[in-house]
Structure 1
Amino acid sequence: MSVLKITDVSKIFAGPTVAVDNFSLEVGDGELVCLLGPSGSGKSTLLRMVGGFERPTSGLMTIDGDDITQLPPERRPTGMVFQSHALWTHMNVFKNLAFGLKLRGLPKEQITEKVEAVLELVGLAGYGTRGVNQLSGGQQQRVALARSLVLEPKILLLDEPFASLDQHLRERLREEVRDIQQRLKITTLFVTHGQDEALAMADRIVVMRDGRTEQIDRPDVVYREPQTPFVAGFIGTMNLIEGEVSKGRFARADFRIDIPIPDGPATLAIRPEALDLEAAEAGVAQVHRVTDYGTHGLVDLDLGDGTRLKAMVAHPDLFSEGQKVNLKPQAMAAYRDNARVYRS
């Protein structure tokens, strides 16, 4: 059993700059939790505190009930994989992986056995004698992962490990890492600013903003039921429409729709895939651009006041620039005072 518990942790840098603000989270045994947020949200600072590379200003961090808050990195049962790989270029692959095991005083035979096993695990069997500079970016990242795993940490920490790789390699590696994590059942905390990575890999997503938690939920819940306008706008593509509600009717430009909430300002949120279009000579929106992606089309729309919306359509050939359409949301949510007040 390996459980990471973070309780009321804050990190304040000189300035003062509050990087992490009273943050709490429990990562269950074998769970992969993703910290997701824009640059400056505090996610990497938090991960570095768990790894021991930053000290929290206040709060408590435990692994299996043991206090690790003030321990140095080498005394923590954690393994960290960095975006930059952080491999030693003067050593071959085997020596990179064996270094930590040698520091622990393991016999040569056991070191060799462990290194060969972890290389096979990450798909690099037979690469031990290769120089680091002889490897591709994806192979280097596999070595970085293997170097952490060979030490058999209780908690695996991943700090945007795929950020420097091209899209196809990134997608392949995230699938491989998820498979390895599930096979080993290793508790993992993963930092990314990529929504696709978080949605594809995580058991739960922690959406962070300004050092605080905006929402913690399963990926499908975060996507379909965002609790705040920030989460709604940050996860996936979302049409966020500012308007006014009067007598149970939301209005923005010529677009109006019934919403059973009290009068006042509100933000309407509609996913492009939930926004149906209907051609109409007196439509409330006008087609600005149509993009055909083969599997689907994306229609950019303008309301009368210039507000830009997007709709996903199955047949983009049915729409053209300048065409007037009416909007028919199939699902939507409304927000007020940074909280969701309506969902259909």
Structure 2
Amino acid sequence: MATLSIHAVSKIFAGDTAAVDAVSLEIADGELVCLLGPSGSGKSTLLRMVGGFEQPTAGSIAIDGQDVTRLPPEQRPTGMVFQSHALWSHMNVFNNLAFGLKLRRRPKGEIRDRVEAVLDLVGLKGYDRRMTHELSGGQQQRVALARSLILEPKILLLDEPFASLDQHLRERLREEVRDIQLRLKITTLFVTHGQDEALSMADRIVVMRNGRTEQTDRPEVVYRNPLTPFVAGFIGTMNFIEGRVETGRFRHADFAVDLPVADGPVTLAVRPEALDLVPADGVRQATVNRVTDFGTHGLVDLSLSDGTRIKSLVRRPEPFHPGQGVGLKPRAFAAFRDTVKLYGAIDAEPADQH
């Protein structure tokens, strides 16, 4: 069990490109933190600097208060699981797992016991003699996780470990990894570009963009109270509607809502689950383009008169059909002017809908 401290870490590549720009982050003992962002946001570079595979241009990294900034990977108390598994194909599972312990000259009996224990932990008991190419993608990723855990690292680093797997396997493995992480109480830094993984696994999410952190908080806070338009649009599905505020009221060509902020241009942000559809009553505010029935709920795709596309999540999709005119009733919304949040959160209680 350990703490991880990242202080003002930057990484400048050739051409003065800042892959990571003065990022600071404190990770508590036993916490799982997700670095979330699009490709090129700097999340994997930051993870690799924690693991010692890249050297920071500036800043420092400490584990349990000990500065590890200049230590090579093999001298750091970290274990890293890569997207590509990085298993040795000429070795069976046992030798893949035992390799690091052999380098540390551990007794044969201890090596055997620890291999058996970690295989049991990741659900691969009895697979020790299998060659890695005989395993499925999910089994190979379990072996990669076991190879990191067997060395008992203080910090576990996961670099998009499920990206190459199909959706069902990805969902199952992330639940298993989270269970293992909670059982071992191991401090973990997890890189992903999948918001569903971050929301379902993390104690905290760090949303990154262009090498910097946009917001760091608990998953429910990042989802319900995004601080910037980028975070609002990157986490979950978001409707953005451009308009103006005049005398305390947001106005769009198709509809208006009260908004107590200073007059001027504003972007309204509304989650699909917070946007109710009501009968048009002679005033068509939006037109239905498509209705998707997911069984448990429906998703209605709509257009405003200026071409803006928005979505509404409804409990029952049957009343809606393409070409239908509907009214809009946002139950909760946020408002942004440029990159500054002016008003509100986007959380809303579920409502009975048509």
What TM-score range do you get, normalising by the shorter chain?
Answer: over 0.9
Instruction: Find the residue that maps to 1:172 and give its secondary structure.
Output: helix
- 2:288 counterpart of 1:287: yes
Partner residue, 1:85 = 85
Following superposition, the deviation at residue 254 of structure 1 comes to 1.5
Alpha-carbon distance between aligned partners in 2 of 1:309 and 1:324, rounded to the nearest angstrom: 14
Partner residue, 1:105 = 105
Partner residue, 1:310 = 311
Following superposition, the deviation at residue 41 of structure 1 comes to 0.2
Following superposition, the deviation at residue 242 of structure 1 comes to 1.6
How do residues 184-199 of structure 1 correspond to structure 2 at under 5 angstroms?
184-199=184-199
Partner residue, 1:6 = 6
Alpha-carbon distance between aligned partners in 1 of 2:249 and 2:240, rounded to the nearest angstrom: 17
Work out the number of aligned pairs and report it.
Answer: 344
Following superposition, the deviation at residue 2 of structure 1 comes to 0.2
Alpha-carbon distance between aligned partners in 1 of 2:252 and 2:188, rounded to the nearest angstrom: 44
Give CA-to-partner distance per residue, 1:117-162, whole Å, 9 cap, x none. 0000000011000000000000000000000000000000000000
Alpha-carbon distance between aligned partners in 1 of 2:338 and 2:289, rounded to the nearest angstrom: 31
Partner residue, 1:328 = 329
Alpha-carbon distance between aligned partners in 1 of 2:155 and 2:245, rounded to the nearest angstrom: 48
5+ residue gaps, structure 2, are 346-354
Following superposition, the deviation at residue 247 of structure 1 comes to 1.1
Alpha-carbon distance between aligned partners in 2 of 1:266 and 1:12, rounded to the nearest angstrom: 35
Which piece of structure 1 moves more, 123-132 or 243-252? 243-252
Following superposition, the deviation at residue 320 of structure 1 comes to 1.1
Partner residue, 1:128 = 128
Partner residue, 2:182 = 182
Percentage of identical aligned residues: 74
Give CA-to-partner distance per residue, 1:51-92, whole Å, 9 cap, x none. 000000000100000000000000000000000000000000
Following superposition, the deviation at residue 248 of structure 1 comes to 1.1
Would the aligned equivalents of 1:206 and 1:217 in 2 still touch at CA under 8 Å? Answer: yes
Partner residue, 2:62 = 62
Give the residue type in structure 2 aligned to 1:15.
Answer: G
How do residues 229-268 of structure 1 correspond to structure 2 at under 5 angstroms?
229-268=229-268
Give the residue type in structure 2 aligned to 1:85.
Answer: H
Would the aligned equivalents of 1:242 and 1:267 in 2 still touch at CA under 8 Å? Answer: yes
Alpha-carbon distance between aligned partners in 1 of 2:194 and 2:19, rounded to the nearest angstrom: 20
Would the aligned equivalents of 1:279 and 1:323 in 2 still touch at CA under 8 Å? Answer: no
> TM-score, normalised on structure 2?
0.96
Alpha-carbon distance between aligned partners in 1 of 2:28 and 2:293, rounded to the nearest angstrom: 43
Instruction: Find the residue that maps to 1:151 and give its secondary structure.
Output: coil
Following superposition, the deviation at residue 252 of structure 1 comes to 2.1
Following superposition, the deviation at residue 21 of structure 1 comes to 0.2
Q: CA RMSD in A?
A: 0.8
Partner residue, 2:338 = 337
Following superposition, the deviation at residue 293 of structure 1 comes to 1.0
- 2:137 counterpart of 1:141: no
Give the residue type in structure 2 aligned to 1:338.
Answer: T
Alpha-carbon distance between aligned partners in 2 of 1:253 and 1:141, rounded to the nearest angstrom: 52
List structure 1 segments (4+ residues) > 4 angstroms apart after TM superposition. none
Partner residue, 2:350 = none
> TM-score, normalised on structure 1?
0.99
Alpha-carbon distance between aligned partners in 2 of 1:255 and 1:14, rounded to the nearest angstrom: 50
Alpha-carbon distance between aligned partners in 1 of 2:155 and 2:241, rounded to the nearest angstrom: 42
5+ residue gaps, structure 1, are none
Following superposition, the deviation at residue 16 of structure 1 comes to 1.5
Following superposition, the deviation at residue 245 of structure 1 comes to 1.0
Would the aligned equivalents of 1:287 and 1:321 in 2 still touch at CA under 8 Å? Answer: yes
Alpha-carbon distance between aligned partners in 2 of 1:111 and 1:175, rounded to the nearest angstrom: 28
Alpha-carbon distance between aligned partners in 2 of 1:61 and 1:123, rounded to the nearest angstrom: 33
